[in-house]
Structure 1
Amino acid sequence: MKEEAQVYLFLFIGSLCLLLASLFAGNVEWALGATAASFYGTIFLSFILILVAGIFWVSAAKLLRPLRH
């Protein structure tokens, strides 16, 4: 039971990371008052959040494999 809950938790956290990354990446634009550091920092943060989401999903898939057999 604990392993199943952990799988669902990892899937949920990965989904939240991907949601935040897509929100950040979708709203980033070069506007008046935006510095190069904030623009590229937001893009970098989005990329990192996408990678973290992938890590959570791969971990959930690895945890799910023994439960299916």
Structure 2
Amino acid sequence: MALCGVLSAAIFCVALALTGCGGGSAAVPPTPVVTPASTSTITISLAATSSSGQPLQLQPIQLTLTVK
């Protein structure tokens, strides 16, 4: 009787292990992220102070970003 229980548990564990293998291939791959083509202007504003504590007058830097 005890042997039947051990055998049932072993069969259950083997069946559980077999059904868990290989199930991950059914997933659909994610859609790739595509950046649309455009041109943007990026402005960088700088702030700094001199060693005497006076603010320095720095001109902003403008950059152009082009995505093809």
Calculate the TM-score normalised by the size of structure 1. Answer: 0.35
> Which of the two has greater strand per residue?
2
Bigger relative contact order (CA 8 A; separation at least 6):
1
> Which of the two has greater helix per residue?
1
